[in-house]
Amino acid sequence: MQNFAIARSARRLRLAVLVAIGLIVAVYLLARFGLDVGPVRVESREVVDGWVGRALVDATLALFVVALIRLAQMLGAVADGPLFGPRVTKAFRGFAFWLFLAMLVEVAAGPVSAIAKTVSAGGGRTAMAFELRDLLVLAGALFLFLLARMLEQARAIEAELEEIV
Protein backbone atom coordinates (compact mmCIF):
# COMPACT_ATOMS: atom_id res chain seq x y z
CA MET A 1 0.00 0.00 0.00
CA GLN A 2 1.41 3.36 -1.06
CA ASN A 3 1.15 6.22 1.44
CA PHE A 4 1.08 9.44 -0.58
CA ALA A 5 2.10 11.67 2.34
CA ILE A 6 5.20 9.54 2.94
CA ALA A 7 5.97 9.46 -0.79
CA ARG A 8 5.71 13.26 -0.96
CA SER A 9 7.95 13.64 2.10
CA ALA A 10 10.46 11.19 0.63
CA ARG A 11 10.61 13.19 -2.61
CA ARG A 12 11.22 16.41 -0.67
CA LEU A 13 13.88 14.81 1.51
CA ARG A 14 15.55 13.33 -1.57
CA LEU A 15 15.72 16.78 -3.12
CA ALA A 16 17.16 18.17 0.13
CA VAL A 17 19.79 15.40 0.23
CA LEU A 18 20.78 16.07 -3.39
CA VAL A 19 21.09 19.81 -2.66
CA ALA A 20 23.15 18.98 0.45
CA ILE A 21 25.48 16.79 -1.63
CA GLY A 22 26.00 19.69 -4.04
CA LEU A 23 26.69 22.14 -1.20
CA ILE A 24 29.06 19.75 0.58
CA VAL A 25 31.05 19.16 -2.60
CA ALA A 26 31.10 22.89 -3.42
CA VAL A 27 32.33 23.85 0.07
CA TYR A 28 34.89 21.06 -0.05
CA LEU A 29 36.24 22.25 -3.39
CA LEU A 30 36.44 25.82 -2.08
CA ALA A 31 38.40 24.60 0.95
CA ARG A 32 40.57 22.18 -1.01
CA PHE A 33 41.74 24.78 -3.48
CA GLY A 34 41.72 27.69 -1.03
CA LEU A 35 39.33 29.80 -3.05
CA ASP A 36 37.79 32.95 -1.62
CA VAL A 37 34.13 33.84 -2.01
CA GLY A 38 34.07 37.56 -1.39
CA PRO A 39 34.93 38.17 2.26
CA VAL A 40 34.48 34.47 3.09
CA ARG A 41 37.44 32.10 3.09
CA VAL A 42 36.79 28.39 3.49
CA GLU A 43 39.57 26.30 5.03
CA SER A 44 39.84 22.65 5.95
CA ARG A 45 41.46 21.07 8.98
CA GLU A 46 43.28 17.79 8.58
CA VAL A 47 43.88 15.39 11.46
CA VAL A 48 47.16 14.38 9.82
CA ASP A 49 49.58 16.85 8.25
CA GLY A 50 50.70 16.80 4.65
CA TRP A 51 49.48 14.85 1.68
CA VAL A 52 48.36 11.93 3.86
CA GLY A 53 45.98 14.21 5.75
CA ARG A 54 44.55 15.61 2.53
CA ALA A 55 44.13 12.07 1.17
CA LEU A 56 42.27 11.03 4.33
CA VAL A 57 39.95 14.03 4.07
CA ASP A 58 39.39 13.24 0.39
CA ALA A 59 38.63 9.59 1.15
CA THR A 60 36.30 10.41 4.04
CA LEU A 61 34.39 12.94 1.98
CA ALA A 62 34.13 10.57 -0.98
CA LEU A 63 32.75 7.80 1.25
CA PHE A 64 30.31 10.22 2.88
CA VAL A 65 29.07 11.46 -0.51
CA VAL A 66 28.56 7.85 -1.65
CA ALA A 67 26.55 7.27 1.55
CA LEU A 68 24.39 10.30 0.81
CA ILE A 69 23.86 9.12 -2.77
CA ARG A 70 22.65 5.77 -1.40
CA LEU A 71 20.35 7.68 0.96
CA ALA A 72 18.94 9.62 -2.00
CA GLN A 73 18.39 6.32 -3.84
CA MET A 74 16.55 4.94 -0.82
CA LEU A 75 14.32 8.01 -0.61
CA GLY A 76 13.59 7.70 -4.32
CA ALA A 77 12.64 4.05 -3.82
CA VAL A 78 10.35 5.01 -0.92
CA ALA A 79 8.67 7.63 -3.10
CA ASP A 80 8.23 5.23 -6.04
CA GLY A 81 7.12 2.03 -4.42
CA PRO A 82 6.36 0.04 -1.32
CA LEU A 83 7.87 1.33 1.92
CA PHE A 84 9.54 -1.98 2.71
CA GLY A 85 10.39 -3.07 -0.81
CA PRO A 86 13.68 -4.71 -1.74
CA ARG A 87 14.97 -1.50 -3.37
CA VAL A 88 14.39 0.44 -0.16
CA THR A 89 16.10 -2.05 2.12
CA LYS A 90 19.03 -2.58 -0.25
CA ALA A 91 19.62 1.16 -0.62
CA PHE A 92 19.28 1.71 3.13
CA ARG A 93 21.77 -1.04 3.86
CA GLY A 94 24.14 0.56 1.34
CA PHE A 95 23.69 3.92 3.05
CA ALA A 96 24.48 2.36 6.45
CA PHE A 97 27.57 0.59 5.06
CA TRP A 98 29.09 3.63 3.35
CA LEU A 99 28.32 5.90 6.29
CA PHE A 100 29.97 3.44 8.70
CA LEU A 101 33.00 3.18 6.42
CA ALA A 102 33.33 6.98 6.21
CA MET A 103 33.08 7.32 9.99
CA LEU A 104 35.55 4.48 10.55
CA VAL A 105 38.12 6.18 8.30
CA GLU A 106 37.51 9.48 10.10
CA VAL A 107 37.85 7.98 13.59
CA ALA A 108 40.81 5.73 12.77
CA ALA A 109 42.83 8.39 10.93
CA GLY A 110 44.26 10.06 14.03
CA PRO A 111 45.41 6.95 15.92
CA VAL A 112 46.75 5.22 12.79
CA SER A 113 48.75 8.30 11.80
CA ALA A 114 50.14 8.67 15.34
CA ILE A 115 51.31 5.04 15.30
CA ALA A 116 52.77 5.43 11.81
CA LYS A 117 54.74 8.53 12.85
CA THR A 118 56.13 6.75 15.90
CA VAL A 119 57.14 3.68 13.89
CA SER A 120 58.72 5.75 11.11
CA ALA A 121 60.68 7.75 13.70
CA GLY A 122 62.20 4.52 15.01
CA GLY A 123 60.02 4.10 18.08
CA GLY A 124 59.30 6.12 21.15
CA ARG A 125 56.09 7.29 22.75
CA THR A 126 52.92 8.42 21.06
CA ALA A 127 49.74 9.94 22.34
CA MET A 128 46.42 8.83 20.94
CA ALA A 129 43.17 10.52 21.83
CA PHE A 130 39.74 8.96 21.49
CA GLU A 131 36.66 11.07 21.91
CA LEU A 132 33.31 9.80 23.09
CA ARG A 133 31.77 11.57 20.10
CA ASP A 134 33.71 9.28 17.76
CA LEU A 135 32.45 6.15 19.48
CA LEU A 136 28.88 7.48 19.47
CA VAL A 137 29.07 8.19 15.74
CA LEU A 138 30.32 4.66 15.07
CA ALA A 139 27.60 3.21 17.30
CA GLY A 140 24.98 5.26 15.44
CA ALA A 141 26.22 4.00 12.11
CA LEU A 142 26.14 0.42 13.39
CA PHE A 143 22.59 0.99 14.63
CA LEU A 144 21.60 1.77 11.05
CA PHE A 145 22.59 -1.80 10.10
CA LEU A 146 20.16 -3.06 12.73
CA LEU A 147 17.49 -0.75 11.35
CA ALA A 148 18.13 -2.09 7.84
CA ARG A 149 17.64 -5.63 9.15
CA MET A 150 14.40 -4.53 10.82
CA LEU A 151 13.21 -3.11 7.48
CA GLU A 152 13.89 -6.45 5.83
CA GLN A 153 11.86 -8.19 8.53
CA ALA A 154 9.02 -5.68 8.07
CA ARG A 155 9.08 -6.44 4.34
CA ALA A 156 8.76 -10.16 5.06
CA ILE A 157 5.83 -9.55 7.44
CA GLU A 158 4.14 -7.28 4.88
CA ALA A 159 4.50 -9.97 2.21
CA GLU A 160 3.00 -12.60 4.53
CA LEU A 161 0.05 -10.33 5.32
CA GLU A 162 -0.60 -9.71 1.62
CA GLU A 163 -0.68 -13.47 1.03
CA ILE A 164 -3.23 -13.94 3.80
CA VAL A 165 -5.56 -11.32 2.38
> How would DSSP label each residue in 87-135?
HHHHHHHHHHHHHHHHHHHHHHHHHHHHHHHHHHTTS--------HHHH
pLDDT over 60 (residue 45): yes
pLDDT over 80 (residue 53): no
pLDDT over 90 (residue 85): no
pLDDT over 60 (residue 104): yes
pTM exceeds 0.85: no
Domain count, the chain: 1
Q: pLDDT band for position 22 (50/70/90)?
A: very high
Give the range of the structural domain holding residue 78, as residue numbers without chain letter: 4-164
pLDDT over 90 (residue 48): no
pLDDT over 70 (residue 1): no
Nearest to 138 by CA among 107, 112, 113: 107
- For the chain, percent of residues with pLDDT exceeding 90: 27
Averaged confidence pLDDT in the chain: 83
pLDDT over 60 (residue 80): yes
At 76 the pLDDT is 93
Average pLDDT over residues 106-113: 79
